[in-house]
Amino acid sequence: MTDEELMDMAKKTSANAHTPYTKFAVGAAVLLSDGEVFTGCNVETSSYGSSLCAERNAIASAVAAGRKDIVKVAIYSPESLDVVPCGTCRQWLLDFAGDKDIVILTQGENGFNTYTIKQLLPHPHNNSTK
C-alpha cells in the first residue's frame, strides 16, 4: 500500500468524525505488517475525558480483530496540516509497535511529513515495550 492510499483512507474516515464540541475532525489509518488496514475517527462526548482519538479508535479496532502488528499510521484532519498524535495516542502506538519503530504520516504543506514514534515519544512510560 502506498503512503497516498493510506492517507486517502485516513482522509475518508475523518468525514465520519463526531466532533460537536471541538469541530476538529481527525481520521487515522493503521497499516499492519500484512497490508491490512484498520481505520478510526475521533468521537467526542460531553464528558471530554471519555472521548476517543482517531488513532486509538483505529488501534482498538485492530486489537479487537486480534492484530497488533502495526507498521505505519496515517493521520489526517481537514482542519489543520501536520496533525500529530496526542501524548496518550503516542503511548498507545509505542506499546503496540513492539520492538520496531513505526512510521507516522501527516499531511504537510508540500506532501507528507514523516515521523517515527520514537521521535515523537523519546522518553516513554517505563512499562512500554522497547
Catalytic residues: 55
Note whether 104 and 85 are within 8 A (CB): yes
SS (H, E, C) the chain: CCHHHHHHHHHHHHCCCECCCCCCCCEEEEEECCCCEEEEECECCCCHHHCECHHHHHHHHHHHCCCCCEEEEEEECCCCCCCCCCHHHHHHHHHHHCCCCCEEEEEECCEEEEEEHHHHCCCCCCCCCC
